[in-house]
Amino acid sequence: MKIADLIDHIATTTDTSKTDTRKVLDALIEAMTAAARAGDEITLPNFGKFKVREVAAREGRNPATGATIQIAASRKLAFTPAKALKDSLND
């Protein structure tokens, strides 16, 4: 599903304009991005949780040359689906 499809679906379902729906969706994404940057957990009931995880620095190998390289520590965003979502996938 592309963003345009999502906007169409939400606008039709809620009987709102596509412009207003786009503004709300943009605000939602902005708020979730800000929360993730701050390291906060984002919980959407019946959908799941987004959580920032710390990945430690480690050694890796360059697949082209086989040389050892250092991979810097980083943060990643992980998603854990809610039970309701998991159950709905298997109905």
Q: Are strands 48-55 and 42-44 parallel, antiparallel or unpaired?
A: antiparallel
74 in the same domain as 55: yes
Angle at 57 between CA 56 and CA 59, to 5 degrees: 130
pLDDT at 90: 87
pLDDT at 17: 96
**Consecutive 10-residue runs of the chain (91 residues): their mean pLDDT?**
95 95 96 96 96 96 94 96 93 80
**One-letter amino acid for residue 44 of the chain:** L
> What stretches of 1-91 adopt beta strand conformation (E)?
42-44, 48-55, 58-61, 68-71, 74-81
Boundaries of domain holding 24: 1-38
82 in the same domain as 62: yes
57 in the same domain as 32: no
* pTM of the shown model: 0.78
User: What is the CATH classification number for the domain harbouring 50?
Assistant: 4.10.520.10
